[in-house]
Amino acid sequence: MVAALSGSKLRARRMALGLRQGDVAQAAGLSASYLNLIEHNRRRVPPDVLSRLAAALSDTPEAFADGGGGAALDDLRAVALAWPAAEFARTDEFAQRFPGWAEAVLAMHHRSMAQEAAIAAVNDRMSHDPHLSASLHEVLSAVASVRSTSVILAETDDLEPEWQARFMRNLDQDSARLAKGAEALVRYLDSGGQIDAQGSASPQEEVEAWASGLDWQIASADIPSALSASARDMARALQGDIRADHASLPNAAFRAAIAAHGPDPLAIASALSAPPFAAFRRLAFAPDLGLGLVACDGSGTLVLRRPIPGFSLPRFGAACPLWPLFTALARPMQAIEAVVEVGAAIPNAPRFSLRAFGMASHPAGFGGPELRRAMMLIIPASAQAAPVQGVGATCRTCLRTHCPARREPSILAGAPERNSAPNSGL
Amino acid sequence: MAGHILLIEDEPNIAEAIRFLLGRDGWQVTVLTTGQGAIAEIARLCPQLVILDLMLPVRSGLQILTDIRADPATQDLPVLMLTAKGQERDREAALAAGVSNFMTKPFDNKEMCAAVRTLMGGD
């Protein structure tokens, strides 16, 4: 809580004694208007004036000493400074009159700062993405309401109790809404499963949105003409891969292999003499298994994302460096497996078994470059599965603040400075 | 008689704050929470100013602005549009459609009141 200020204490004492402002001012040798400013914490009280006022109120100066307010008050002043039109001189008054709400405003300010950073990063994308635009609008609307309402509360001396109660209630609602809006925004940024073809910005997203709409049963589906030319090319390539997967892993043999080995793509591929990646895709696209898949190229860029609930795959930017996918990319032809928990370390968090495999190829022979590719199957695991590794989707939205692999601060952990320092990358 | 302002804003708490602010400035404020029927309400109430949120359910602020400017009876009606950061392209479209002024959310209360006074012919 923000501690009591001298002016408010003086005012409370005068009113408790039933004295008029003018009488106390006269007794202390001040003008009534100056005392009024002091009582509303709009002027600091010099020691000699405080002594005279204390005497006029039959008390000691120490009884009216400024309680300070510490870091919270300093933060609130910083908020006022950040808003050029805000009444900086009345910051103390606001903090004094509504200490709880002042703290709420501070907390929301910190959250707003973090969100503004996120907004700046995706600003250009807004005009292309109606889903994101709607989410940001929700957050900004809540911020606008909080801002306007809190200023009314701070500046209106004679606010009727009915209005005050109403605005208090609105602040409460908007603070909750702001928190929910931020969570929704992050879920959206995290999720590849909520997109549609019109809201997708890249050809890859278009393909994934189209395939997701068909539950990834696209082997013989017509490719919509609404997709961009690049997306249609990518869709045709994916269809070609999937048809080849079905040819090398015929359904009956594939099902028998699952019964024998479980969702182990390398065992299935080996049993049926099929390419490993074919087994990864067959398992992930089987509609009844509920598995997810992510693939990357040699740069670590995600080139295929088949999400499942509870395991977020980032739409933009790089993924969590702790995923076994990237270990497999660095160590081709090795089976890499880990049981993981995603997101914040909370009791009973959902766990997943991640099975990754990487391969190198030389399509241009000895004279050409080595190309690498890795895939990772995402398999829901039991809550007891162990040992477990904590991972995220991407640093920007990950709550594991003390992660040694962190590249950048999370936008979710409050004020940016409160995040753990990102790894220097050196 | 106080000037009449029609506020079309689907966020009830923002609408309440604006209604309070403008009410204290002496304006009579009617709130509409959707774009549906906005043109009919403007014809019925004959406000001296419309404060219009850009993103509204059913009918967008831009569509309403276009309708206002297309009607000879309201083509000169001042319209103050509320937009959010990141809606620069929509602002450009609103400018082209003849908006009188903008306020960007989160807005400053005093600037809001000053903009309204100006559009109502006060300052």
Q: What is the DSSP string of A321-354?
A: TTSHHHHHHHSTT--EEEEEEESS--TT--EEEE
**In chain B, what residues touch A156 (CB-CB under 8 Å)?**
24
On whether any CB of chain B is under 8 Å from the CB of A148, the answer is yes
Please indicate whether, in this complex, the C-beta atoms of A170 and B17 are within 8 angstroms of each other: yes
**pLDDT above 70: residue A113:** no
* pLDDT tens readout for residues A187-222: 666 554 344 434 455 788 889 889 988 989 999 999
On whether any CB of chain A is under 8 Å from the CB of B109, the answer is yes
Task: Write down the residue that tokens 């459609």 correspond to.
Answer: B97
**In chain B, what residues touch A133 (CB-CB under 8 Å)?**
86-87
Can you tell me the distance from the alpha carbon of A269 to that of A267, in angstroms, rounded to the nearest whole number? 5
Decide which of B42 and A37 is more confident.
B42
**In chain B, what residues touch A174 (CB-CB under 8 Å)?**
13
Residue type at B7 in one-letter notation: L
**pLDDT above 50: residue A110:** yes
Per-residue confidence at A345, pLDDT binned at 50, 70, 90? low
Given a contact cutoff of 8 angstroms between Cβ atoms, the answer to whether B22 and B116 are in contact is yes
A-B C-beta contacts closer than 8 Å: 70
Instruction: Give the pLDDT confidence score for residue A389 in this predicted structure.
Output: 86
Instruction: Give the pLDDT confidence score for residue B1 in this predicted structure.
Output: 47
Given a contact cutoff of 8 angstroms between Cβ atoms, the answer to whether B67 and B28 are in contact is no
Kindly report the number of other CB atoms within 10 A of residue A167's CB atom.
23
The DSSP letter of residue A274 is -
pTM, to two decimals = 0.47
Instruction: Give the pLDDT confidence score for residue A187 in this predicted structure.
Output: 64
Given a contact cutoff of 8 angstroms between Cβ atoms, the answer to whether B118 and B5 are in contact is no
The percent of residues in chain A predicted with pLDDT above 90, rounded, is 34
- What residues 49-88 of chain B have any CB closer than 8 A to a CB of chain A? 55, 84-87
Q: Among all residues of chain B, which has the CA nearest to that of A132?
A: B86
Per-residue confidence at A176, pLDDT binned at 50, 70, 90? confident
**In chain B, what residues touch A167 (CB-CB under 8 Å)?**
16-17, 20
Nearest-CA neighbor of A391 among A336, A347, A354? Answer: A354
Mean residue pLDDT of chain A comes to 81
The reply to whether A213 falls in a domain is: yes
**pLDDT above 50: residue A60:** yes
On whether any CB of chain B is under 8 Å from the CB of A277, the answer is no
| Cα A387 to the center of its chain, rounded Å | 27
Instruction: Give the pLDDT confidence score for residue A131 in this predicted structure.
Output: 62
On whether any CB of chain A is under 8 Å from the CB of B31, the answer is no
CA distance A179 to chain B (A): 16
The percent of residues in chain B predicted with pLDDT above 90, rounded, is 63
On whether any CB of chain A is under 8 Å from the CB of B21, the answer is yes
The reply to whether A18 falls in a domain is: no
Instruction: Give the pLDDT confidence score for residue A177 in this predicted structure.
Output: 82
Please indicate whether, in this complex, the C-beta atoms of B105 and A143 are within 8 angstroms of each other: yes
Q: Tokens at residue A182, please? A: 């931020």
On whether any CB of chain A is under 8 Å from the CB of B102, the answer is no
Please indicate whether, in this complex, the C-beta atoms of A141 and B109 are within 8 angstroms of each other: no
The residues with which A361 forms a beta bridge, in sequence order, are A371
* pLDDT tens readout for residues A10-50: 888 888 888 888 899 999 988 888 888 888 766 777 888 88
Q: Among all residues of chain A, which has the CA nearest to that of B11?
A: A141
On whether any CB of chain A is under 8 Å from the CB of B11, the answer is yes
Q: How many domains does chain A fold into?
A: 1
Go through the domains of chain B in sequence order and give each one's CATH number: 4-119 (3.40.50.2300)
CA distance A126 to chain B (A): 7
The reply to whether A177 falls in a domain is: no
Query: Which residue of B85, B90, B91, B103 to mutate against A (max A Cβ within 10 Å)?
Result: B85
Phi, psi at residue A274, to the nearest 5°? -110, 160
Residue-number span of the structural domain to which A377 is assigned: 203-418
Contacts 24+ apart (CB under 8 A), A245-248: A245/A274, A245/A278, A245/A279, A245/A281, A245/A282, A246/A219, A246/A282, A248/A272, A248/A273, A248/A274, A248/A275, A248/A278
Question: How high is the ipTM of this complex?
Answer: 0.87
The reply to whether A155 falls in a domain is: no
Instruction: Give the pLDDT confidence score for residue A420 in this predicted structure.
Output: 43
Across the interface, which of A123, A140, A163 has its CB nearest the CB of B105?
A140
* pLDDT tens readout for residues A116-160: 655 555 554 554 555 666 677 778 888 888 989 998 988 888 888
The reply to whether A289 falls in a domain is: yes
The reply to whether A281 falls in a domain is: yes
**In chain A, what residues touch B105 (CB-CB under 8 Å)?**
140-141, 143-144
- What residues 158-197 of chain A have any CB closer than 8 A to a CB of chain B? 163, 166-167, 170, 173-174
Can the peptide bond before residue A250 be classed as cis, meaning omega within 30 degrees of 0?
A: no
Kindly report the number of other CB atoms within 10 A of residue A61's CB atom.
17
Given a contact cutoff of 8 angstroms between Cβ atoms, the answer to whether A278 and A249 are in contact is yes
Can you tell me the distance from the alpha carbon of B28 to that of B19, in angstroms, rounded to the nearest whole number? 8
Q: Tokens at residue A305, please? A: 């994302």
Across the interface, which of A141, A143, A148 has its CB nearest the CB of B109?
A148
**In chain A, what residues touch B112 (CB-CB under 8 Å)?**
148
